Amino acid sequence: MKIAWAFTGAGHLLRESVETLEKLATEHKVTVLLSGAGEEVLKMYGLFDRVKSVTGGYYQELILEKDQMWSYPISGRFSLGRYDLLIVSPTTSNTIAKLVHGIADSLVTNAVAQSGKGKVKTLLVPVDLESGDLDTVLPSKLELDLCQNCTTCEAAAVCPPDAITPGVEINLLKCQGCAACQTACPYGAVSGGSIITIHMREIDIKNSRKLHHLEGVEVLKDPLEILSHL
Ligand SMILES: Cc1cc2nc3c(=O)[nH]c(=O)nc-3n(C[C@H](O)[C@H](O)[C@H](O)COP(=O)(O)O)c2cc1C
């Protein structure tokens, strides 16, 4: 099959999405689309290179939102029905809100809109699907209560992109998610993969429910479910 997989900027279900993409790419040609936030967040969680490595070749490109300017020419492939399937996983509440209101002003919302026009089936895995609280995972974080304000910050010294301001914060837009800082700090003041509980907003849950009204779109709870829908 010719499949397009779009990542939006969600940390939740991100690792599970990458793992499913890797499985699927062993048997199918996959083009990967990254929203601007999708690219940033994949880097923060140290998963960008894994995604990049499944791409390379015709219909196996890595498509970055920042290279598509304003008209998203790649979307033509969807309106022409050139793909067998579009997957958006994980899908942020931002992208869902746009989709249910028929907005197509970004790489991923354009791909979904044009898939509707080209009759390309779309599978969406929304992050905000059920009411209540949700446990989700954080990227690297400076734990200031553990930071000893060392004269030389070992974590900052080993950070390749120089993303750490000692005793202050990690600039996540510079962070590449390599986790070197986490092992370098002798006081364990850099965490990675901590779990936090966030509350799902009712507006986001309501929007996710409205996805069922979109023609050709199927909503899944978990990226792993994608494999049984091919
Ligand atoms: C570390 C990190 C994790 C995030 N995780 C989520 C998430 O799980 N769900 C979500 O809706 N937004 C999340 N966001 C916010 C989105 O990236 C942001 O709303 C962005 O504008 C979405 O753009 P997109 O829908 O075009 O990808 C996260 C942001 C950061 C920095």
* Residue-wise pLDDT tens digits, 193-207: 999 999 999 999 999
What's the pLDDT at 132? 95
How far, CA to CA in Å, does 113 sit from each of 34, 98, 150, 212, 217? Answer: 16, 10, 52, 14, 10
- pLDDT confidence of 163, banded at 50, 70, 90? very high
How far, CA to CA in Å, does 94 sit from each of 34, 76, 91, 195, 207? Answer: 14, 23, 8, 22, 10
Choose among 46, 31, 35: nearest CA to 10. Answer: 35
Domains and CATH numbers, the chain: 2-130+201-229 (3.40.50.1950), 140-192 (3.30.70.20)
Q: Closest ligand 1 atom, CA of 8?
A: 27
Across residues 51-79, what is the average pLDDT? Answer: 97
Q: CA-CA distance, 3 to 111, in Å (whole number)?
A: 12
Choose among 57, 15, 21, 64: nearest CA to 39. Answer: 64
Percentage of residues in the chain with pLDDT exceeding 70? 100
How far, CA to CA in Å, does 67 sit from each of 64, 74, 91, 92? Answer: 6, 10, 20, 21
What would the DSSP string read from start to end of 83-108?
Answer: -SEEEEEEE-HHHHHHHHTT---SHH
- pLDDT confidence of 70, banded at 50, 70, 90? very high
What's the pLDDT at 206? 97
Residue nearest to atom 11 of ligand 1 (CA): 92
pTM, entire model: 0.97
- pLDDT confidence of 225, banded at 50, 70, 90? very high
Q: CA-CA distance, 152 to 26, in Å (whole number)?
A: 45
Q: Closest ligand 1 atom, CA of 37?
A: 27
Mean pLDDT for the chain overall:
97
What's the pLDDT at 46? 97
Is there a contact between 214 and 120 (Cβ–Cβ < 8 Å)?
no
Distance 10 CA to ligand 1 centre (A): 4
Residue 112 phi/psi, 5° resolution?
-70, -45
Q: Any bridge partners for residue 190, and if so which?
A: 142
Greatest Cα pair distance in the chain = 60
Is there a contact between 32 and 7 (Cβ–Cβ < 8 Å)?
yes
Q: Tokens 């890797």 — which residue?
A: 22
Mutate to test the pocket of ligand 1, among 47, 92, 99, 175 (most ligand atoms within 8 A of CB): 92
Residue nearest to atom 18 of ligand 1 (CA): 9
Distance 90 CA to ligand 1 centre (A): 10
Percentage of residues in the chain with pLDDT exceeding 90? 100
Residue nearest to atom 10 of ligand 1 (CA): 92
Mutate to test the pocket of ligand 1, among 12, 34, 66, 94 (most ligand atoms within 8 A of CB): 94
For the stretch 6-40, pLDDT in tens is 999 999 999 999 999 999 999 999 999 999 999 99
Residues at CB less than 6 angstroms from ligand 1: 8-12, 35, 37-38, 41, 44, 92-95, 106, 127, 136, 139, 172
What's the pLDDT at 137? 95
> For 116, how many CA atoms within 13 A lie in the half-sphere containing its CB?
16
For the stretch 143-153, pLDDT in tens is 999 999 999 99
Residue nearest to atom 19 of ligand 1 (CA): 94
Distance 40 CA to ligand 1 centre (A): 9
Q: CA-CA distance, 23 to 27, in Å (whole number)?
A: 8
